[in-house]
Amino acid sequence: MRLAGKTAFITGAGSGLGRAAAERFAAEGATVVGADIDYEGVRETVERIDGEATAHELDVRDGEAFRDAVDATVDGYGLDILLNNAGVIHDPTPMERLDRATLDRIVDVNAKGVWNGCAAALPHFKDQGSGAIVNTASLAGVIGSPQFSAYSLTKGAVVNLTRAVAAEAGPHGVRVNAVCPGVTETSMPRGDRSDDEWAELASRMAEAYPLGRLGRPEDVANAMLFLASDEADWITGETLVVDGGFSCA
C-alpha cells in the first residue's frame, strides 16, 4: 500500500474532497487524523474508514488550535502528511459589491488557514527531515473566475504560498505541492440547489469540459494521494491542475 506506516492530517475532512481524500489515504494504509469545524461531519468520515482514524474539531482560522491539534497528532501517531484542504466559497458577486465581512472570512479560511497549517506542521517535518504538504487551491487560483474575486484571490495566494514554502522547506527534506481542481460534484458548487436544479446546472457546466463531465471527489483525491506519496518524491513547488481539460479548451 502506498501510504503504509504513514500518518496524514487532513483538514476539511468532514465532507467533499476532504472526506474523499481521508477515505482514499486510509485505503492506502495511512493513519488518518481528520479535522473539520463540522465535528459531526468529520466523525461520520472517520466512521466510514476501515482502518486507523480519529476526528478533531478544528477551525483552521485559529492558529494556536491548529498547532495544538498537530502537536497532539505528532505525540500520538507521528506525522508524515499534511493536507490543507479546508476552504469556503462565496456566492457569485461583482467584485465592487462583495462585502468586507465576506472578504475577510474567505481570506481567513482559505489563505490564513493554509498558512496556519504549514506553520504548525513545518517544525515537526524539519526536525525529522521529511514530510509532504499538499494544499488544495483551485482552478480559480490559476486562471481566475469572474464574480468569484475573493475566492480567486485566496486560491491564487495558496498557489504562490505553495511555491514559497517548497523553496524554503526543500533543503529540510520537505515537499510542498498544490492541487487545483475544476468544478467537482460536491456541496460547495451545489449550494442550496435542489436535485433537479443541480442536475441541470451540472449538465450545462459539463459541456465546457473536454472530458464531458464535472469532476468527482475521488478524481481529486487520487491526485492528492499521488502528491502525498513517495511516488512524487522529486516533485515539489508544483501545482497539479485536475480539471478535465477545462483550462485547455
Question: Catalytic residue numbers?
Answer: 151
Cell 487532513 found at? 10
Are 174 and 130 in contact, with CB atoms under 8 Å apart? yes
Which residues sit opposite 8 in a β-bridge? 32, 81
Hey, what's the cell of 67? 498547532
Determine how β-strand 131-136 pairs with β-strand 239-242.
Answer: unpaired
190 alpha carbon, distance to own chain's centre = 18
Between CA 94 and CA 177 the distance in angstroms is 31
Cell 492506502 found at? 28
How many residues would you count in the chain? 249
